[in-house]
Each structure stands twice: as C-alpha cells, then as structure tokens.
Amino acid sequence: MKMNVLSQLNDLLEQRRTEIPKLRSKGQKVFGYVCCKVPVEIVHALGMIPIRIGVAAEAKMATGKEFTHQFTCPYIKCIVGEMLEQGDFFHDNVDVISGFVTCLTVHRCLEVLKQYTGKTTFYLTHPLNPPTKREEKFYMAEIAHFVSQLEAASGKKLDNPRLKESVEIFNWIRVKLRELCRLHSMNCSGLRWSEVLKIIQAGFLLDAKQYLAFLMETIRKIEAEKEELQDSNGAPRIMLIGSPMLPGDDMLIKIIEDCGARIVADTLCTGMRTFEDLVISEPTIAGIAQTYLNSNPCASAQDLEIEKDRRLKHTFRLIREHKVQGAVYYALRFCDHYAFKDDETKQFLAEKAGIPMISIHSEYGETEEGRLRTRIEGFLETL
C-alpha cells in the first residue's frame, strides 16, 4: 500500500509540474503564496492556480541571501532564491505573489520580489489581538481588499456558486487530511510522518480536485488495510512545534524517526496548521474571514499573557488528542517568533501538559546531522 501511495503521489507531482506551464499558456494565472492562512478557496474560485512558494534547498538560499541579508531566515531566503532564479519552477511559473505579513522579513521578501520580478505582488495583514468585533471588522475589510486585488489580477469577478464549490472542495481536503492524521496517530497508517507530511505538502502544488481524489483513495486504502498496518511497537510519541519546514526540509524528521520515535502531530505552518480549524461552514467572504480569523493564530499574534495564549492552548489540545509524550521545538535561525518563545513553551509544556521538550535551533541543510542526532537521541533517552 505504502509504496503505491507514495509512487502515485510522486507521479502526480511530476505531472503537475509539466501541466502548470501548459495551463498558463492557455491563459490561466498562477497565484504564488507564502503563508498558510491565505484563503486559497477564493483564489481557486477565481480560476487561478494557487501554489505555495518554497522548497528547502541550500543552493536557493545562497541566491536568496544575495537579495536579502545574511541574517534573513532560511525560509525566506529559499523563497526569494526560488522566485528570482531563472529556470526555477516558481520563478518561471508564478504570475501573482502574495502572503500575510507575519514578520518584517516576510514584508521584505514581498518587497524584494515585487521589485525584482515586476510581478503583481501584494500583501495582507492580520490582527495581532484576539478576535473581537474590532478585529473582525478589520479582517473582513482586509479579505475584501484581497478579493478585489485578485479580481483585478485574474480579470474575473468572484461569483457565489464558484465560491461555494471551491469552499466545498477545500473543506473536504481539510476533513480528509484530518482523517489521515488521525489514522497515523492511531499507528495504523503504515506511513512515517515524513511521508504523511509529503502528502500534506503535495496540496501546495496539486490541483484541488485531483488532490482530494488522491486523499480519498489513500484513506480508503488505509482503512481497508489498517488492521494489518497496525503498529504497536511502543515508540515514543513526538510532536513537532516551531518554524516552517518547507518541502525537502525533512532531515530533523528523519533523524527523529531513525532514532526510533514516532511523530504523531505538529503545529507547523507547513504541516497540520494548513488544515486544522479551517473547515468553513458558511461559503461566503464573511464566512471565510470568520473561519480563518478564529483558527489557531499565527506565531506573530502571540498573546501577551502566557495563560491566555491561544497557540499554547491549541498545542495543549493536540498533545492530549494525540497522546504526545515529548515535543521537539524547531526554531530556524533568525526566526524570532520561535526563538523568543522556546523557554516559555518548554515551561508551559512541562507544567501544564507534563511532557518534556527539546529546542533545536537549526537551518535548512544536511550539514548539521551529527549535531542534531546527538540532541535527539539524548532527548529520547530521557523519555
């Protein structure tokens, strides 16, 4: 089952990379985004192709550094490098660029991309305070502005039937991804987390309907074989917390798995955060805005009082739901949101959830494997 699923996924991704240039030549526009809370259903409803920009690659980081700064985080360096290097898939295919300004580095990224690509580029902002009527009003206006920008870029008007259809497709994708993670958490997916993550991240590129069909088929296969796939080897159950891990940045995950642990959940913007809490009940702009606003907030919207922190509450809920025994906190270099919060998070998890946490400060690349392996092995030895 496992080999079939992964090889089918690789084929789909490969086909998609050749299909997208053809669709563009027929007039369809590609919308590249850099944040997991960009409402892709709206992009989809306007007939554009939403794809998430970014693959972890050291060579692209070098290019990205040329256009940003040595103290820029690897995540943004990769995105900038990919968007500015001729011959790169993202450079060659993205027509419109957008994302939430979740930190000043993202802002700088969009600024640099607008300047050097000359492509339509615009950003969104989100409220930092917990949602009240005031934040709702602000956010609603922001999403309405987003729609008008997209309408201008696509040359189309958003209509309700198309929006309803798109919302429904993405809702189903999110439901199925939750189901996949639930099966994985129950030790009966037959997959490693690195493979589950590959499936989650395939949604950054694949056509929504095709992706949904793939997810439904994969879950059907797992359900049919789950008793045989059941794995009860008692490996420690680990949760990943922290900075985005772009597709290709799987070294830490592989080390954790090679050391005999099972990753059962994450809170990453490139993992479960892309679909958790995002099932939209009202297929309107207002309904979409409400759902995104009330979902697990961005790391840039941390509450000032730790007791009220919505992100930590969300993390706590996932720990209980997935019976997590230890957390690995991944902070990319120069990713301040996560670097600032590791001690607090460690203390919170120890006191409130009763689980230990290890902080890993790292960057994309293979050079640190030995250093990370000792830390992860040491951490697992404490469990």
Partner 1 sequence: MYIGVDIGSLVTKTVILKDGDIASYSIIDSRSDPEKAAKRSLEHALRKAGLGGDEIAFTVATGYGRTAFSDADKTVTELSCHGRGAHFLHPAARTIIDVGGQDSKVLRIDKSGDMVDFAMNDKCAAGTGRFLEVMCHALEIPLEELGSFSLRSTNSLRMSSTCTVFAETEVISLLAAKQKKEDIAAGLHHAIARRVGNMAKSFGIEKDMVFVGGVAKNSGVRKALEEFLGMKFAPISHDPQIVGALGAALLAEDFYEGRKKP
Q: Write out the residues near partner 1 by the rule CB under 8 A.
A: 356, 361, 368, 370-371, 374-375, 377-379, 381-382
Q: What span, in angstroms and rounded, lies between the C-alpha atoms of 193 and 180? A: 11
Nearer to partner 1, 287 or 356 (CB): 356
CB 320 within 8 A of CB 357: no
Strand, coil or helix: what is 271? Answer: coil
Nearer to partner 1, 44 or 375 (CB): 375
Identify the helix (H) or strand (E) that includes residue 30. Answer: strand 30-33
The CB-of-188 to partner 1 minimum distance in angstroms stands at 24
Tell me 352's DSSP state: I
Give Cβ neighbours of residue 96 (< 8 Å, ≥ 6 apart). Answer: 29, 30, 31, 32, 48, 119, 120, 121, 150, 153
Q: Pseudo-torsion of CA 223, 177, 130, 38, nearest 10°? A: -170
Q: What span, in angstroms and rounded, lies between the C-alpha atoms of 182 and 228? A: 17
The CB-of-259 to partner 1 minimum distance in angstroms stands at 10
The CB-of-381 to partner 1 minimum distance in angstroms stands at 5
Tell me 350's DSSP state: I
Backbone angles phi and psi of 362, in degrees to 5: -150, -175
Tell me 68's DSSP state: S
Own/partner pairs, 17-22, CB within 8 angstroms, 24+ separation = 17/89, 17/205, 19/207, 20/49, 20/51, 20/93, 21/92, 21/93
Residue type, 75: Y
Nearer to partner 1, 58 or 142 (CB): 58
The CB-of-363 to partner 1 minimum distance in angstroms stands at 10
Nearer to partner 1, 212 or 324 (CB): 324
Q: What span, in angstroms and rounded, lies between the C-alpha atoms of 1 and 306? A: 44
The CB-of-261 to partner 1 minimum distance in angstroms stands at 14
Residue 283: closest CA among 159, 147, 164, 157: 164
Nearer to partner 1, 40 or 255 (CB): 255
The CB-of-347 to partner 1 minimum distance in angstroms stands at 11
Nearer to partner 1, 161 or 234 (CB): 234
The CB-of-294 to partner 1 minimum distance in angstroms stands at 36
The CB-of-43 to partner 1 minimum distance in angstroms stands at 40
For 106, the token pair is 């993202």
Nearer to partner 1, 50 or 242 (CB): 242
The CB-of-78 to partner 1 minimum distance in angstroms stands at 20
Give Cβ neighbours of residue 223 (< 8 Å, ≥ 6 apart). Answer: 183
Nearer to partner 1, 15 or 374 (CB): 374
Nearer to partner 1, 165 or 368 (CB): 368
